[in-house]
Structure 1
Amino acid sequence: MTSLTIVCTVYQIKLIFKLNKISQIREDFSYAMIHDMKTPLSTIMMVQDMLESGRIDSKPEIKKKFMNIAKSETDHLLTLTNKILTISKLENHKLEMNKTEVELTPIIETLTDKFKAKAQKPVNFTISLQAKTAYADKDYLDEVLSNLIDNAIKYSKESVEIHITTEESERYTILKVRDNGLGISEADQKVIFQKYERAAAAKRSRRNGASGFGLGLNFVDQVIKAHEGRIFVNSTEGEFTEFTIYLPLDTPNNRHNR
């Protein structure tokens, strides 16, 4: 009876601890989500007020600039919404990947041009594409690489160096995105792909100051899994972070399984 009581007590303590942790994650997520959505909404409202006031009607260049800002923030909100919906579908196995042989060069060139234009700090890309194609869903692969590049810039120092490389093994196309940023601690590397993890991590450490509620890397992980691939992170705090993606080749066996 004593042993049973001890076992039950330990189980109850563990259950209470787990429930408290879930509750804390939800609280952190709610706070981070509101914070992340508040900024673009405030910006859109500010632009709306400026346009309604008529103060910039005679300044077409400034008016166009404000309109572009509002459009960018609207796209940001839409992207967040789509990520939530996509993750939900992926977790419930309701989203199919439309995989084809995708040319990597145009995808990567478009992304590097976009981020160099929009970044608020100097960004230099080094590209080495030994593998020219990958068997993937083009739109989702584009979004995966966009997330990794965005993180590399967001969690970086004054100047950003991003290396994007591809190669091919017997079974996989291998894509790597490496930066010279702030790095990720060993503890965070173990949980970085979990949903909402950044919200909890932000409470542990505020030094980076980057907004977001942890959907980006979970989205990346879910999409790569939907491709039957794998993703790994290697990082040293204060030095670099490198994400490595393995996407299966379109082999005769894969075509037979389809």
Structure 2
Amino acid sequence: MNRNTIRLLIILGTLSITGIIAVQAYWVKRAFDLKEQQFRQTVMISLRNVANKISSLYKLSSIENPVSQLSSDYYVANLRIPLDADVLEHYLKEEFKKQNLQTDFEYGIYDCDTDKIVDGAHINSDFEESTALKKTLPKTDKYLNYFGVRFPSKTSFLAARLDIWVISSLITLVVTAFFGYSMFVILRQKRLSEVQRDFINNMTHEFQTPISTIRVATDVLSQTKIMEQPERLKKYVHIIRQENNRLKNQVESVLNTARMERGKMELDIRLQELHSVIYDVTEGVKAELEDALSIELNATRTSIYADRIQLISLIRNLLENAIKYSGKKPCIRIKTENIADTLVFSISDNGVGIAKEHQSKIFNKFYRVPTGNTHNVKGFGLGLSYVREIVRAHKWAIKVDSEPNKGSTFSVIIKQEV
């Protein structure tokens, strides 16, 4: 599946899901508005019935429209006469039960002599428990004597009656989440496919080079006259040994990565002298680098607990990485120092450097800083990933300081036991 096809699928899928969500939101809003309208009508009818029953009780004529809505959850009804709170509460409960308005409500009776709502209570949805008003109900100048009723839980009451819409909305959310996850998996699989292709191409090239060199060297050694040229013989034997070690390191790099994936990195933790290990690793490259390698071992506390083989691999990987990216005139510095209770080991180079946006990704497996369609420096993209796993296994820390065209410094921070 090519990039354009995936992009088209994502765009079409996103538009489809967005459309479904928009339609769903529209109908949920319509359903809620309809429920709210039904609720308003039911409340208006109930309060009108209560007002007319009270009028009948006191032998007053009925009022055609005694109820007014002052806000979305607050209603007032004309009384015309003072009224006892117990009588009003009885009629309100009776009518709300009849109309199936099973929700909390608050009522209050306005007293024109004191200009206050003097009596009132908060009734729960079962119409059984009565408590004091949580806050004073608003007043109005519309009626001389009136009672007010507020529904503090109106929104939750209406939402509870949208069960089918809630279920359909949840289904829509699940579908949206599944779509998002599917797109994530598709993009991840595509990325993994690209990484796998690049890895195979790089590995093929990396293996072909030493194999070709060894084949040429063995062809030369197969000549009978080579025995008469001991210096030349020694040179080609050295080439074979060197390329063989190169192949060995490459195979070990791939195998170590496979072990890490299976969680089979076993450490033989022992007391090590870091400076001694550094000297052992750099001994083989000193002649090759000559004056390009600077070693500044300033640390005075150099004993650490580590797996010697993994520590050597860590130093070798960082050193080889510095050599590969240093360009034609390398300048590499290996430095150690004690900072507080830590031993800091760092390798610096004067190479191409790493941009900020790539520094958080260089320790990912197979990741290589993009350089267009070609890579001038060959490799698998496994070295720094392996370094990070070694650091994690030892519970150390690693950081990188780098700027493009100004080189890079990789520092390993080792906490020492006091």
Q: Normalization by structure 2: what TM-score? A: 0.55
1:90 and 1:247 map into 2 onto residues whose CA distance is 21
* 1:226 maps onto 2:396 in alignment: no
Q: Do the aligned residues in 2 keep the contact of 1:178 with 1:243 (CA within 8 Å)?
A: yes
Residue from 195, 198, 217 that aligns with 2:365:
195
Counterpart residue number, 1:151: 321
* 1:212 maps onto 2:409 in alignment: no
Deviations 1:169-205 (A, max 9, x none): 454322111111111122321111111113xx45646
Q: Do the aligned residues in 1 keep the contact of 2:275 with 2:297 (CA within 8 Å)?
A: no
Q: Do the aligned residues in 1 keep the contact of 2:302 with 2:343 (CA within 8 Å)?
A: no
2:177 and 2:248 map into 1 onto residues whose CA distance is 49
Q: Alpha carbons of 1:138 and 1:9: their partners in 2 closer, same or farther (altered >3 Å)?
A: closer
Counterpart residue number, 2:296: 127
Deviations 1:138-177 (A, max 9, x none): 2221221111111111101332222222223454322111
Output the amino acid matched with 1:151.
N
CA RMSD of aligned residues (A): 2.3
Output the amino acid matched with 1:128.
L
Q: Do the aligned residues in 2 keep the contact of 1:33 with 1:212 (CA within 8 Å)?
A: yes
2:304 and 2:344 map into 1 onto residues whose CA distance is 9
Instruction: In structure 2, list runs of 5 or more residues that go unmatched.
Output: 1-16, 22-171
What is the count of residue pairs matched by the alignment? 247
Q: Alpha carbons of 1:161 and 1:218: their partners in 2 closer, same or farther (altered >3 Å)?
A: same
Deviations 1:108-144 (A, max 9, x none): 223333212234x852314133142222122221221
Deviations 1:197-219 (A, max 9, x none): 13xx4564636x11111121111
What's the offset of the Cα at 1:78? 1.1
Q: Alpha carbons of 1:217 and 1:9: their partners in 2 closer, same or farther (altered >3 Å)?
A: same
Residue from 60, 77, 84 that aligns with 2:254:
84
Output the amino acid matched with 1:234.
D
What's the offset of the Cα at 1:32? 0.6
Q: Which moved more, 1:163-172 or 1:187-196?
A: 163-172
Deviations 1:44-68 (A, max 9, x none): 1111111113242211111111111
Counterpart residue number, 1:255: none
Higher RCO, Cα 8 Å, sep 6+: 1
1:218 and 1:127 map into 2 onto residues whose CA distance is 26
Counterpart residue number, 2:169: none
Counterpart residue number, 1:40: 210
2:373 and 2:355 map into 1 onto residues whose CA distance is 11
Percent of matched pairs sharing the same residue? 29
2:268 and 2:386 map into 1 onto residues whose CA distance is 17
Q: Alpha carbons of 1:91 and 1:17: their partners in 2 closer, same or farther (altered >3 Å)?
A: closer
Q: Do the aligned residues in 2 keep the contact of 1:167 with 1:175 (CA within 8 Å)?
A: yes
1:8 and 1:139 map into 2 onto residues whose CA distance is 45
Superposition pairs of residues 1-258 of structure 1, within 5 angstroms: 2-3=20-21, 4=172, 7-119=177-289, 123-130=292-299, 131-198=301-368, 201=369, 204=372, 206=374, 209-250=376-417
Output the amino acid matched with 1:237.
P
Deviations 1:14-60 (A, max 9, x none): 33222111111111111011111110011111111111132422111
Output the amino acid matched with 1:80.
Q
Q: Which moved more, 1:74-83 or 1:8-17?
A: 8-17
2:305 and 2:252 map into 1 onto residues whose CA distance is 23
